[in-house]
Chain A
Amino acid sequence: MTSPATAPALAEPSTSARRSGGARYVLGKVGGAVVSLFVVMVLGFFLFRVLPGDPIRLLTRNTSLGAAQVAELRHRYGLDLPLPAQFLDYMSKLLHGDMGDSLKFQQPVADLILQRLWPTVLLVGVATLLSILLGLWQGTRAGWRRGSGFDRFSTGFALTLWSAPTFWLGMILLALGGSLFPTQGILDPDTPASFLPQVADVLHHLVLPCLTLVAVLYAQYLLVMRSSLLEEMNADYLTTARAKGLRDDLVRSRHAVPNALLPTVTLIFIQLGFVVGGAVTVETVYSWPGLGLLLYQAITDHDGPLLQGLLLVLAGAVLVMNLIGDLLLRVIDPRVRAA
């Protein structure tokens, strides 16, 4: 998780943007992302190899499997090959779009990730949307009336929530709201198969995990919005606008806020990529069948192929989001383009 105060530092556009032309800039960014992804592919492989303990031995501990069966398992997953051969095998499969099979679940990693993708997208998407709305709304009000009771209260409240460990907040919410809302999964298997009940049940399951995530996330948007609004507030054009006799509300909503939104947009995209990693604890507390939970299981089971696949997908998500953030900023902020 990025601290709300350091987040703006991340959001600063890189200097290379200022030196080069449009097409070259885009190509450079995409190229950089591809290189980063490749690095993740390679390091992901070795990260898994340096984990202590033989994954197959861990997988089969306390079972009645004999030595012959264990050796057969090791052979099936190619773990009996020398390291360079394993690496070549992994890379060539990956280039053909095959992420291999999960050791624990005994099915293709790509299938598993696809299964778990949409619950995560739903949880993270809804939570991000809500925290953006909440954060921007409160940040705008807090910034506009700096030092007011609202400012101090909302900023303090948001910071307090941000300071609590996510999993702890989740457990407390579970203890408090567990009798009103489901504590497990995304969908009750007994829900009638028609559309509306299913949607309602998913929403019902979404409440607690989403609330936890929002509580932790929205402080960052609040703070960024607040501080960028503060920066805009004394700008000349606002004085002009006021001098024209525009109502305070209108000065805020037509002039100050749109400009102050710019740094926030970049932050939103940068954050989006990270939220999935941050959802690990929430998904674990509420048994939400998403990527974060799968990741946690991959680490505890030393499920190398699964871990590699997940790292790749998560890093890919961050890269794509960063790319979108960078490009979007260029499109909407004329200052970045001109410079």
Chain B
Amino acid sequence: MRIRGIGIGLIAAGIAVLSAPIAAQAQDTPQPKTLRVAVTGNIATMNPFMAFHLGDTEIGRVMYAFLTSYSRDDFSPAPGLADKWQVSDDKLTWTYHIRSGAKWSDDQPITARDVAWTFNKIMTDKTAATANGNFVANFDTVTATDDSTVVIKTKTPQATMLALDVPIVPEHVWSKVTDIGKYDNLQYPVVGSGPFTLTNFTQGQSITLKANPDYYGDKPAYDQLQFRHYDNADAAVQGLKNGDVDVVSGLTPTQYTALQSTPNITTVKARQGRQNDLLINYQAQTNDHQPVGDANPVLKDPKVRQAIAQSVDVKTLVDKAYGGLAEPGAGFVPAVYEQWHWTPSGTQEQKFDLAAAGKLLDEAGYAKGADGVRADKQGKPINLRLVVDSGIPAQVAAANFIKGWLTQVGLGVTLQALSSDAVTDAGSTGKYDLELNGWTGNPDPDALLSIQTCGVLPDADGNGNTENFMCDPQIDQLYKAQLSEMDKAKRIQDVKDLQARLYSLDSSVVIAYPNSLEAYRSDRWASFGLQPSQGGSITHQNGYYGYLLAKPADAASSGGGSNTTLIVVIVVVVVVLLGGGAFLLSRRRKAGADERE
């Protein structure tokens, strides 16, 4: 009896609680218009000095302006905090003019001193250098000669001075911070200079930013930008369908295809600065040129590497493994960066030709055994390990295709699909023969090219950013030349020559530039500022145009969706409770009847 009474009380309370939101919603003032973006990676920190993961830097971009930016059309350098700049004749002194009238979100003026303070902090404080230290490595001095002029002197000429991806922070806030490494930068609203201001960060759940009225550039056509954290990509897509989020990125080909036929949802197939390549390990070494790793020595033979390169059909890979959602690979710099991208000419190209590859191997003296597998010079059957990240379906599929082709030309392949950390580990210690890898490039090719130079070979502990232990005098010389070349046309030629040299060495075979697959709610959002403006993406830009220039659709209510589902839920809950109650009552009556007997 008593228990039943409590139960009924609980049911009544439940109904009251669940129906409350309707009442609350009804009294609400109009909801702020919000763009909700699903993020699947972990966002670790809002501290721009410490943020080096992709997701973290993307938030940093909308919170803080950089000295210069990348144009929406073609990634060419565009004004940021600096509206004008010039370089001295000796190419060592850069003078930036800071735009006047720009203000921090707390109404303080943005001056050259903030810029100088930020760079000097990174140059003098090891902890502050965590995320962006490599941008200032070649800086000699940074000084603010007046409120609107910053002068940067570099040790050697540096062609990337318009690609300094360093968030500029307000000196009046950050000079009071004693330990940069421990500062969480969550004093809301966080003082910034970007198009949005951080108002809430709940670790592992959501990040909310509001439009910054003091931003010097375009004003967003809505009030709030919100990132919601999903650990599960399918849950994110479900959230898009429900209307919990407006934009989802990083779709798999399957999800992309499925969403194409979903009403109110528009899919975006975007070019992005990413490339996937097949590494051929033939010179694993440390920075003092000690060999490391356990690669098959047969790969030292350029003919073998060429045969491997000729056995990879990038067009089939794009069609089958990437489901057509990629561009076939050629030069090392992704195709989206058109001016830097290189494609082999007819004479340079190592065309897909299994017969030619087989002939090459025959001529080089690798005879096929009875089982169709070629033997190396010691008579041992050649077996190559192909390492691939098991978490990237397209790469696993690609690896299977590559294995098939190589087997056909008589090279034995063992597929090693490993967790991403095991792949990273194998890669940095040289313990692989072949490996599928991927890199994301910046609009300026310098960072991407640097991973092919001797300077980033790992030390004995494995610290070093090398891609495939590349160390070639000609590449190093071309790399140095492009870095100090201020004439753009000449620099482009250097960059292309470098890629051609890399291609001819067959150190790696670029297989594809995968597209970035995104989808958004077209009933709520009419358009986004894509970058590049033709065929570009909404998220993960080298800018913030995707969010900044998002245009809401006319009639749509961006707060909708969840309310109707809530009502449905309440109806369901009430029905279930009533049904359960009726059941209990009927049983009680029966029990009562028993007792009377």
Contacts and interface: CB of A to CB of B under 8 A. Distances in A.
Partners in one complex: yes
Interface of A: 52-54, 57-58, 60-74, 76, 104-107, 112, 115-116, 171, 174-175, 178-192, 194, 196-197, 199-201, 203-204, 207, 247, 249, 283-287, 289, 293-294, 296-297, 300-302
Nearest to B16: A196
Contacts of B463: 57, 67, 70-71, 74
B134 A64 contact: yes
A69 B123 CA distance: 12
B235 A174 contact: yes
15 contacts: A54-B462, A58-B424, A60-B52, A65-B52, A65-B133, A68-B133, A71-B463, A76-B127, A174-B232, A185-B229, A189-B205, A189-B226, A201-B21, A287-B229, A287-B235
Nearest to B572: A180
A184 B242 CA distance: 11
A119 to B, nearest CB: 9
A184 B239 contact: yes
A106 B181 contact: yes
Contacts of A293: 204, 231
Contacts of A196: 17, 20-21, 24
A183 B245 CA distance: 11
B18 interface: yes
Given A54-B425, A297-B42, A174 B559 contact: no
A78 to B, nearest CB: 13
Contacts of A74: 463
Given A66-B137, A66-B465, A197-B20, A182 B424 contact: no
B126 A72 contact: yes
Nearest to B50: A106
Interface stretch (B486-494, B526-534, B563-571): B563-571
A178 B200 contact: no
Contacts of B137: 66, 68
A64 B160 CA distance: 14
B76 to A, nearest CB: 20
B422 interface: yes
Nearest to B238: A178
Nearest to A80: B461
Nearest to B464: A67
A105 B133 contact: no
Nearest to B287: A67
A183 B24 contact: no
B421 interface: yes
B230 interface: yes
B131 interface: yes
Interface in B216-243: 226, 228-232, 234-236, 238-239, 241-242
B274 to A, nearest CB: 10
A186 B244 contact: no
Among B133, B137, B228, B424, find the residue whose CB has the most chain A CB atoms closer than 10 A. Answer: B424
B229 A181 contact: no
B422 A199 contact: no
| Interface range for B | 35 or more
B127 to A, nearest CB: 7
Contacts of B42: 104-105, 297, 301
Contacts of A199: 17
Contact of A200 (B17, B572, B594): B17
B93 to A, nearest CB: 24
A11 B284 CA distance: 56
A290 B74 CA distance: 42
A182 B245 CA distance: 11
A6 B459 CA distance: 52
Interface in B344-374: none
B439 interface: yes
Contacts of A189: 200, 202, 205-206, 208, 226, 228
Given A69-B130, A249-B591, A183 B242 contact: yes
B88 interface: no
Given A185-B205, A197-B20, A67 B456 contact: yes
Contact of A106 (B34, B45, B208, B465): B45
A181 B566 CA distance: 8
Contacts of A188: 244, 562
A289 B239 contact: no
B464 A174 contact: no
Among A171, A184, A186, A201, find the residue whose CB has the most chain B CB atoms closer than 10 A. Answer: A184
Nearest to B562: A188
B177 interface: no
Closest 9 CB pairs of A and B: A53-B425, A178-B238, A66-B134, A196-B20, A183-B235, A289-B204, A287-B231, A189-B206, A183-B238
A247 B205 contact: no
Nearest to A189: B206
A184 B229 contact: yes
A129 B249 CA distance: 38
Contacts of A197: 20-21, 24-25
B569 A181 contact: yes
Given A178-B238, A183-B242, A52 B421 contact: yes
Nearest to A201: B21
